[in-house]
Structure 1
């Protein structure tokens, strides 16, 4: 997600890629502070408790598979890779847990999850949304422009709830729903936040990231801007993390269908007890 170090290198691969998967795997292998992953797990479990259905053959796509293997011994748990090793039409539930923001092909990830679902199977995905680290993104950009006159890619782009919700339909899922959970976390300073991001495995793994250390003046300017503009009410600084929860179902004849246009049996104006005004041509 972020790095304080690393001129941009040309990408020999003609296919544009957001993420350097080798760097991402290295960052995740060093991770030892996974509270955000655990919060995503709790959100998923809470949503599943609201579903009036028992799942017999769940599968989980996880950035940190061992976290899920310890919690869900009944599930097939696989690492998040470009090609997901999931059986086609083999699962009645597929969970994608907090890794889509690093996916080079997020639509492809969801399509693979859709293919792994049985008819009327459920997909439940949690992804980081566009509000995540908005404060850090702002101060780093302002500081770099002030010190160097330019900008470098430092924080992974993350989708807005509407955009991510639209991906469910593109993946062929029915009854799509997207909603958000916004968390505000207090840190002592920007330096503490950056250390925590590395400990989460969320260091900068962008393909176009800088490959030399960031100038100290940029970071010091950013830290001051952060403290001045994004103070937490209880002291220190505030950092935003947005979890976007995506829900969709593999199509099935048993699911409710929208009525065709013109099939309504009553007027909306009557239901609202209001008058109806015709629009002029």
Structure 2
């Protein structure tokens, strides 16, 4: 771990989740929405997975979405926060995603539920997940990426420059789509599939968005963050800028969430393999020409 750049303060992240757990209440719309999309993608896989890990299980509120789905019999949560794990009714292990306490070749399915983007060593975490899977086991994961929370980032940046004459990191850096593809290949996953869902969320006020981030323990945990608390004047000015720039006609404000979905299989004998580059026997230009010839005028895409 000494060679890994410490982008996040993992101890602080754990304390933030502990605090969120003690506050009680809903675990947040963001997490629930991501979990539902992961569950939908699992339905597309015509296989059974008796033993599964739910990495980033939090308080277990999303457990019913996966339990019993695609033959899942044993669903074990992995959660960084002991206070969060204490609220989970199912089997759960308190552990850091960067040090996954799972034996090699022991689970059929691993689900990364919106937590791996806070790891300092995402490549290492993916490698450990790949090792934990049985041959031909499946990993499904979702992380925040791309332009997630760009509105909040812009509002906080301008407010801090106006009031303090400078700025400090306030919103976590996020991976890009091309980064995730390379990480999956580096971890050894076969037939990796990477895509992104852009979700536009709406809140009655910017402070409601910030409250949800606090509720899920997702507030600033950057290692090089400014140690002094965010000034109230900066916070209120950021909320004002947010409303000015990103309000809808109904008065609600929008927040962008780019969810990078990752899927990959552990190598196994007899597993389907992609054809080698250049081995196709039909040129793309020929395929497009055939489609054009079969499409009546006016019926093409608009």
2:65 aligned with 1:76, yes or no? no
Residue 57 of structure 2 contacts residue 63 of structure 2 at CA under 8 Å; is this kept in 1? Answer: no
C-alpha deviations, 1:138-171, integer Å up to 9, x for none?
1111221222232201111111222122211111
- In the other structure, the counterpart of 2:229 is 213
2:34 aligned with 1:36, yes or no? no
1:240 equivalent among 256, 280, 288: 256
1:50 equivalent among 35, 44, 47: 44
C-alpha deviations, 1:17-71, integer Å up to 9, x for none?
1111221111112224322222222112111111011112222212515335555
Change in CA separation of 1:90 and 1:231 when aligned onto 2, cut-off 3 Å: same
- In the other structure, the counterpart of 1:22 is 11
Using the alignment, how far apart are the partners of 1:252 and 1:164 within structure 2?
A: 22
User: How much does 1:175 deviate?
Assistant: 0.8
C-alpha deviations, 1:88-139, integer Å up to 9, x for none?
0111211111101210111111110000111111100111112221100011
Residue 4 of structure 2 contacts residue 120 of structure 2 at CA under 8 Å; is this kept in 1? Answer: no
Residue 193 of structure 2 contacts residue 262 of structure 2 at CA under 8 Å; is this kept in 1? Answer: yes
Between 65-74 and 44-53, report the one with greater CA deviation: 65-74
Aligned to 2:143, the other structure's residue is in SS state: strand
Residue 62 of structure 1 contacts residue 68 of structure 1 at CA under 8 Å; is this kept in 2? Answer: no
RMSD between superposed Cα atoms in Å: 2.2
**What is the TM-score with the length of structure 2 in the denominator?**
0.79
Change in CA separation of 1:190 and 1:266 when aligned onto 2, cut-off 3 Å: closer
Structure 2 unaligned regions, length at least 5: 68-72, 81-95, 291-302
C-alpha deviations, 1:198-254, integer Å up to 9, x for none?
112112111111111223332232222111110023222111222211101111232
Aligned to 1:96, the other structure's residue is in SS state: strand
Using the alignment, how far apart are the partners of 1:223 and 1:261 within structure 2?
A: 50
Using the alignment, how far apart are the partners of 1:264 and 1:231 within structure 2?
A: 49
Residue 191 of structure 2 contacts residue 274 of structure 2 at CA under 8 Å; is this kept in 1? Answer: no
Aligned to 2:173, the other structure's residue is in SS state: coil
Alignment length (residue pairs): 262
- In the other structure, the counterpart of 2:119 is 103
Taking the TM superposition and a 5 Å limit, the aligned residue runs for 1:96-175 are 96-175=112-191
Change in CA separation of 1:268 and 1:222 when aligned onto 2, cut-off 3 Å: closer
Using the alignment, how far apart are the partners of 1:14 and 1:273 within structure 2?
A: 52
Residue 153 of structure 1 contacts residue 209 of structure 1 at CA under 8 Å; is this kept in 2? Answer: yes
Displacement over 6 Å in runs of 4+:
none
Aligned to 2:174, the other structure's residue is in SS state: coil
Structure 1 unaligned regions, length at least 5: 1-12, 275-281
Change in CA separation of 1:42 and 1:150 when aligned onto 2, cut-off 3 Å: same
Using the alignment, how far apart are the partners of 2:257 and 2:151 within structure 1?
A: 10
Taking the TM superposition and a 5 Å limit, the aligned residue runs for 1:219-230 are 219-230=235-246
Change in CA separation of 1:155 and 1:118 when aligned onto 2, cut-off 3 Å: same
Change in CA separation of 1:188 and 1:269 when aligned onto 2, cut-off 3 Å: closer
Between 258-267 and 132-141, report the one with greater CA deviation: 258-267
Between 93-102 and 254-263, report the one with greater CA deviation: 254-263
Task: Name whichever structure is richer in helix by fraction.
Answer: 2
Using the alignment, how far apart are the partners of 2:145 and 2:214 within structure 1?
A: 19
